[in-house]
């Protein structure tokens, strides 16, 4: 949440609503660079993923949105997203001898990866009044890499983290202003260190075939990525 927006009682018609660790800061910084002041929110309803603070209820967010509302969300490979979330928590907590084994346990054994799946139903669908899986399939997210659709809460733009680098055009069209997306956490920012830690770990963190099949056979992921793309994800994380 951009707390300064709330303190100053300003309103915005752009809401970046996503689960975190999906590249949303890159989108936020791009919009701010073009003069926008978007609301940036991870969770609105309980339960809240550990490490993501408190949720903001619908009424609170709605009070700071102005018409016409435009909602931007981002989906990401759930395993990559979970590894990224773990590296951020590792930097914020006093882990002792934390390594790839700890990450695997946190993601696989403690099933923290499920937050990347359930968020769509418990947060996004609840807020927008739509069915994520139906819209992904109907609009062809796995084919077009991004989709735009009307929801009861406002116009929605869905981006994929893996394609963010070439999505400046569709984002510009969506907000009716030229916007350039850069990888914020790669080039700088508060959490650049977590990005660096993520890059150090990705070659060491590997998962069982059984686990990967369980993750990538979820309906929301199969509706957002092609079979070929999912196989690439699996190969990347397989032991």
pLDDT in tens, the chain (239 residues): 445 444 444 689 999 999 999 999 999 999 999 999 999 999 988 888 876 666 666 777 888 899 999 999 999 999 999 988 888 777 665 544 467 888 898 888 778 899 999 999 999 999 999 999 999 999 999 999 999 999 999 999 999 999 999 999 999 999 999 999 987 765 555 556 666 666 777 788 999 999 999 999 999 999 999 999 999 999 999 98
**How far is residue 3's CA from residue 26's CA, in Å, rounded to a whole number?**
18
Supply the range of the domain harboring residue 21.
3-237
Residue whose C-alpha is closest to residue 17's, from 62, 64, 73, 63 = 73
From residue 220, give the alpha-carbon distance in Å to each of 41, 64, 75, 162, 225: 21, 29, 10, 16, 9
CB 121 within 8 A of CB 219: no
**Long-range CB contacts (< 8 A, 24+ apart) of 183-189?**
183/23, 183/26, 184/25, 184/26, 184/28, 184/29, 185/23, 185/25, 185/26, 189/25, 189/29
CB 123 within 8 A of CB 19: yes
The distance from CA 37 to its chain's CA centroid, rounded to whole angstroms, is: 19
In the block, tokens 């690439």 appear at 232
Give the predicted TM-score (pTM) of the model.
Answer: 0.90
pLDDT tens sequence across 199-221: 777 788 999 999 999 999 999 99
**How far is residue 27's CA from residue 50's CA, in Å, rounded to a whole number?**
23
H/E stretch holding 74 reads strand 65-75
Check residue 211 and give its pLDDT.
96
Number of domains in the chain: 1
């Amino acid at each position: 949440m951009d707390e300064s927006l709330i303190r100053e009682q300003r309103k915005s018609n752009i809401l970046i609503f996503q689960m975190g660790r999906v590249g949303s800061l890159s989108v936020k910084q791009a919009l701010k660079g073009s003069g926008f002041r978007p609301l940036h929110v991870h969770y609105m309803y309980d339960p809240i993923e550990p490490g993501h603070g408190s949720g903001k209820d619908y009424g609170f967010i709605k009070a700071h949105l102005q018409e016409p509302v435009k909602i931007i969300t981002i989906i990401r490979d759930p395993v990559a997203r979970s590894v990224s979330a773990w590296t951020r928590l590792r930097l914020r907590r006093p882990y002792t001898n934390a390594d790839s084994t700890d990450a695997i346990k946190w993601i696989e054994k403690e099933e923290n990866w499920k937050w990347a799946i359930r968020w769509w139903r418990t947060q996004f669908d609840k807020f927008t009044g739509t069915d994520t899986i139906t819209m992904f399939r109907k609009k062809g997210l796995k084919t077009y890499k991004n989709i735009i659709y009307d929801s009861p809460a406002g116009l929605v733009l869905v981006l994929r983290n893996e394609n963010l680098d070439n999505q400046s055009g569709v984002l510009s069209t969506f907000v009716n202003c030229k916007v350039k997306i850069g990888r914020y956490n790669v080039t700088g920012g508060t959490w650049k260190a977590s990005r660096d830690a993520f890059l150090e770990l990705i070659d060491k963190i590997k998962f069982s075939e059984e686990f990967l099949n369980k993750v990538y056979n979820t309906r929301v992921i199969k509706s957002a990525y092609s079979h070929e793309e999912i196989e690439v994800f699996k190969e990347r994380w397989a032991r």
